[in-house]
Structure 1
């Protein structure tokens, strides 16, 4: 059996004129149904994020077409790699790289994007630091923290979804990550607040 493929659909509602954003969110939510692994509304923006795990990527293309047919939507598709698979590739202990929990129970979820530059580092140094980062993140998740992780396919970028009580809790957690400790000047974080659909 083939490994599942992972994708993030970013669905932006066009607002060039008077638009019923809430109505459009309901339309997209109805189309997504239970096909998306996770689906969220971005707080304060006319934007929806949907994470997919599929055997056949055509399913995601079909979903994109269905959404675009329903109105003024701009859809972007990002190919993802399960973080556990990436962790295996870079040599993280297999005890940490089992199936992800795929569990986010809180109504508010924080999405964080981590973009990492490797200027001035050898490839080995960079990958060793990422191995430390992955080991730390997967170990913390093993303590019960609701955390889902993905690597953007073909890029030095990771995406995480985390249930925390406040952005401050996220900030505390970030202080102990190897990317922050060792590469603070080459590591860029972006935090987005989401609500579940």
Structure 2
């Protein structure tokens, strides 16, 4: 059976119990995410820049392995975990009948980079029919996947199951990203229905290896 995807957001609560050792806690979370169970592969794991938050994507072949990892996180204390069921954006694009050359499985093109961003995108469609939304979304999916396949943009996309919500991880300079978001079909044709929350992120492994040792 093909593994199922899940998005985890992990908040390390600094204000409770007189605060926490954030670098130390992040390293413990990193260890749990990276190797707690072979049945739960961590595809991506990022530290949100400037926040006590980690976001991770898991490919899960046995849900019990994932639950044991969550139990390990709970033992750390002072941590809140949320979980969302995901599907590969390419699968959603197939449903929209996007060109098959664009919907091939992702090659996981996100690498360690200083200009990583995470976009949490919610799509409503005031004043439009569902058919109109799907036509716009087809254009959007085509543009996004063309940027990766033909334009060389390093990005990974996931759709939240059962919701009009997309999570995008992208390597792009802030000015370029700001320009891109204003020119996406979903914005130019449905701007009032789109809400985007953007966070700068960094690879969790990189953060954990540098935060306590790197000289400034």
Q: TM-score range by the shorter chain?
A: over 0.9
Say whether the 8 Å CA contact 2:13–2:19 is kept in structure 1: no
Q: Secondary structure at the match of 2:32?
A: helix
**1:170, 1:180 → 2: CA distance?**
14
Q: Which residue of 2 aligns with 1:158?
A: 166
Counterpart mapping for 1:51-62 below 5 A: 51-62=57-68
Counterpart mapping for 1:83-98 below 5 A: 83-98=89-104
Q: Which residue of 2 aligns with 1:13?
A: 12
What is the deviation of 1:104? 1.1
Q: Secondary structure at the match of 2:62?
A: coil
What is the deviation of 1:173? 1.6
Q: Which residue of 2 aligns with 1:113?
A: 120
TM-score, scaled to structure 1 = 0.94
Q: Is there any run of 5+ residues in structure 2 with no aligned partner, and where?
A: 36-40, 205-216
1:48 to 46, 54, 57: 54
Counterpart mapping for 1:168-183 below 5 A: 168-183=175-190
Q: Which residue of 1 aligns with 2:87?
A: 81
Q: Which residue of 2 aligns with 1:146?
A: 154
What is the deviation of 1:95? 1.2
The count of corresponding residues between Structure 1 and Structure 2 is 195
What is the deviation of 1:189? 1.1
Q: Which residue of 1 aligns with 2:107?
A: 101
TM-score, scaled to structure 2 = 0.86
1:71 to 71, 77, 84: 77
What is the deviation of 1:179? 0.8
Q: In angstroms, what is the RMSD of aligned CA positions?
A: 1.3
Say whether the 8 Å CA contact 1:115–1:189 is kept in structure 2: yes
**1:45, 1:156 → 2: CA distance?**
26
Q: Is there any run of 5+ residues in structure 1 with no aligned partner, and where?
A: none
Say whether the 8 Å CA contact 2:42–2:57 is kept in structure 1: yes
What do residues 99-134 of structure 1 show as CA deviations (whole Å, max 9, x unaligned)?
Answer: 112121233310001111112211111111111100
Say whether the 8 Å CA contact 1:106–1:163 is kept in structure 2: no
What is the deviation of 1:187? 0.8
**1:192, 1:10 → 2: CA distance?**
13
Say whether the 8 Å CA contact 2:6–2:57 is kept in structure 1: yes
